[in-house]
């Protein structure tokens, strides 16, 4: 894509935290941005307003990534509004902690539905509308490499599944020059992790947590032309947590 060519990004789970930072960064990079949310329309609309105030274009779409129909509808709404999709970022995810003997079936199913099935279905739906040469970016977790804490087995399992999944999908989409890469953040300052950060920070060699903007900067690179020779990769950004 040339710098003056129209570019459209769809960010699944883009209203808060890492997803919001990515949506903002891609808007700054010149993308028209659609973003999905589940339960906080106020946060989603605040983000859309911020992008528009900076002369960008944005659209908020209510879509639960546990619902296959909602995923498909979000893709359709993006195309209806902006005409195309060049980049899809799959950030939607849920986190539940419990020891193996106490993990409920409902929480297990929810995490599999959103963190694994939802990721696959979002990619599947997006690539049907994506132009050749596009980009798929998933937001995994460094727990795919090192769980780190007791009670995190299911979350780690789902993120390891994403890291494995994108390798096969990268091969599927290589003939279309669509790259598929996975970002694996470590402890990052978001709503999801705020109560865990004090005890995790001591496990990070750099002795700090990540900021959503740092993850967004890596997503910006993966969405841009300079990353066109990278596909099927999982890139860990965690202050040395997994070392």
| Tokens matching residue 174 | 């290589």
What is 25-54 written as a DSSP string? Answer: HHHHTT-EEEEEESS-HHHHHHHHHHHHHT
- The answer to which of 71-80, 145-154, 173-182 has the lowest mean pLDDT is 145-154
State the distance between the two ends of the chain, measured CA to CA, in whole angstroms.
36
Strand partners for 180: 136
Q: Quote the percentage of the chain above a pLDDT of 90.
A: 89
Q: Which residue has the tokens 């993006």?
A: 78
Strand 8-12 with 32-37, pairing: parallel
In 3-state terms, what secondary structure has residue 232? Answer: coil
Highest CATH level, class, for 8-237: alpha beta
Which SS3 state, helix, strand or coil, does residue 148 take? coil
Asked if residue 159 lies in contact with residue 112, where contact means CB atoms within 8 angstroms, the answer is no
Question: What pTM was estimated for this model as a whole?
Answer: 0.95
Interval 154-177 mean pLDDT: 98
pLDDT above 50 for 1: no
Neighbour-count burial for 47-77, b at 16+ CB within 10 Å, e otherwise = bbeebeeeebbbbbbebbbbbbebbbbbbeb
Cβ(96)–Cβ(111) below 8 Å: yes
pLDDT digits (tens, 9 = 90+) for 22-69: 999 999 999 999 999 998 899 999 999 999 999 999 999 999 999 999
Q: What is the CA radius of gyration of the chain?
A: 17
- Using a 10 angstrom Cβ sphere, with 0-12 exposed, 13-18 middle and 19 or more buried, the burial of residue 229 is exposed
pLDDT score of 4:
57
Report the catalytic residues: 155
Q: How confident is the model at residue 196 (pLDDT cuts 50, 70, 90)?
A: confident
CB 159 within 8 A of CB 141: yes
Could you give the CA distance from residue 133 to residue 226 in angstroms, rounded to a whole number?
Answer: 12
pLDDT per residue over 200-237, tens digit each?
888 899 999 999 999 999 999 999 999 999 999 999 99
Q: d(Cα 98, Cα 225) in Å, to the nearest integer?
A: 41
Q: What are the residue ranges spanned by the domains of the chain?
A: 8-237
pLDDT of residue 3: 45
């Amino acid at each position: 894509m040339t710098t003056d060519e129209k570019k459209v990004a769809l960010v699944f789970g883009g209203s808060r935290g890492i997803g919001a930072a990515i949506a903002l960064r891609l808007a700054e990079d010149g993308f028209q941005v659609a973003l999905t949310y589940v339960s906080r329309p106020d946060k989603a609309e605040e983000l859309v307003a911020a992008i528009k105030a900076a002369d960008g274009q944005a659209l908020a779409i209510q879509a639960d990534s546990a619902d296959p129909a909602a995923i498909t509808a979000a893709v359709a709404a993006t195309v209806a509004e902006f005409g195309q999709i060049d980049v899809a970022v799959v950030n939607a995810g849920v986190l539940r902690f419990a020891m193996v003997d106490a993990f409920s079936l409902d929480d297990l199913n929810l995490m599999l539905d959103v963190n694994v099935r939802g990721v696959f279905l979002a990619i599947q739906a997006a690539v049907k509308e994506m132009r050749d040469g596009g980009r798929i970016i998933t937001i995994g977790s460094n727990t795919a490499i090192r769980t780190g804490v007791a009670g995190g087995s299911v979350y780690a399992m789902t993120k390891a599944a994403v890291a494995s999944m994108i390798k096969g999908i990268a091969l599927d989409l290589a003939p279309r020059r669509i790259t598929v890469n996975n970002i694996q953040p470590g402890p990052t300052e978001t709503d999801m992790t705020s109560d865990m950060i004090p005890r995790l920070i001591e496990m990070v060699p750099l002795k700090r947590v990540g900021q959503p903007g740092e993850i967004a900067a890596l997503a910006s690179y993966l969405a841009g032309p300079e990353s066109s020779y990278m596909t099927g990769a999982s890139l860990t950004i965690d202050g040395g947590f997994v070392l």
